[in-house]
Amino acid sequence: MVDNMPDGIECGEEYFNPPAEIIEEPKIDEVTQFIVAQSLYKAIAEKVKTGKTENMRGRIDAHFTELWERTRAMGAPAKSFDLEVNGQKVGTYSITTAKAEPEHDEKRIVTTDEKALLRWCMEHGCVQIDRAKVDDWIAYTGELPDGMGTEVVHVDAKPARISRTTVRIPDPFEALYALGEGNLEQSVLELMEGGN
């Protein structure tokens, strides 16, 4: 019988039929764990998201802001607070502040003639006013383009204020264990079912 196989190679050999790659499927327990973890993440993420006044994080920020204001009124503003669960410290809540600024006048660059500025921009390679390029030009050359000038603006004083807050919980399991036996499941259910 004539075949097209190279000498010494038979059709059934591994050369032509390599073993199939076995892709291991995740165990059912892993899938369940993922579903639970993703569900918890989705339920909890909105509750701890920064920048929202109505969620848990917003209410906690308001609480520590009030404490900061009270301690500041006494002349010694606290910027770090212990986070405790059942009397056990599990993390810290820290406040970063912006310094107070006295009232002052400052000179600002403003557009005085938009048509003249547009003409200047077109002469310098822009088809429209590109403020970033204009600002770069001013910083590099020190010259104001046509159609621009300066004005003095009064800036009111600003008191010291909170610019950022940080929550640090190094070991999340420490906080969970501090809840005590049987309380973790109840707390998780309350987070999943409750409001913000």
pLDDT in tens, 158-177: 888 899 999 999 998 888 88
Tell whether 9 is covered by a domain: no
Tell whether 21 is covered by a domain: no
pLDDT in tens, 81-136: 999 998 999 999 999 999 888 999 999 989 999 999 999 999 988 888 888 889 99
- Note whether 164 and 95 are same-domain residues: yes
Segment 148-158 shows an average pLDDT of 90
Q: Which residue has the higher pLDDT, 12 or 170?
A: 170
Tell whether 58 is covered by a domain: yes
- Note whether 33 and 95 are same-domain residues: yes
pLDDT in tens, 16-26: 556 667 677 66
- Note whether 118 and 176 are same-domain residues: no
Rounded Cα gap, residues 130 and 4, in angstroms: 70
pLDDT for residue 114? 92
Tell whether 134 is covered by a domain: yes
- Note whether 55 and 86 are same-domain residues: yes
pLDDT for residue 46? 87
141 phi-psi bin (left φ>0, alpha ψ -120 to 50, beta other): alpha
- Note whether 90 and 51 are same-domain residues: yes
pLDDT in tens, 53-95: 999 999 999 999 999 999 998 988 899 999 999 899 999 999 9
- Note whether 183 and 143 are same-domain residues: no
Does the predicted model carry a pTM greater than 0.85?
Answer: no
pLDDT for residue 116? 92
Give me the torsion for CA of 27, 31, 32, 33, rounded to 10°.
Answer: 100
Domain count along the chain: 2
Domain of residue 151 covers: 104-155
Residue from 15, 17, 37, 41 nearest 26 by CA: 37
> For residue 187, is pLDDT > 90?
no
Tell whether 5 is covered by a domain: no
- Note whether 76 and 34 are same-domain residues: yes
Q: Determine the distance from the C-alpha atom of residue 153 to the mean position of all C-alpha atoms in its chain, rounded to a whole number.
A: 33
Q: Distances in Å between the alpha carbon of 1 and those of 4, 5, 9, 61?
A: 10, 11, 14, 85
Rounded Cα gap, residues 131 and 107, in angstroms: 17
- Note whether 72 and 110 are same-domain residues: no
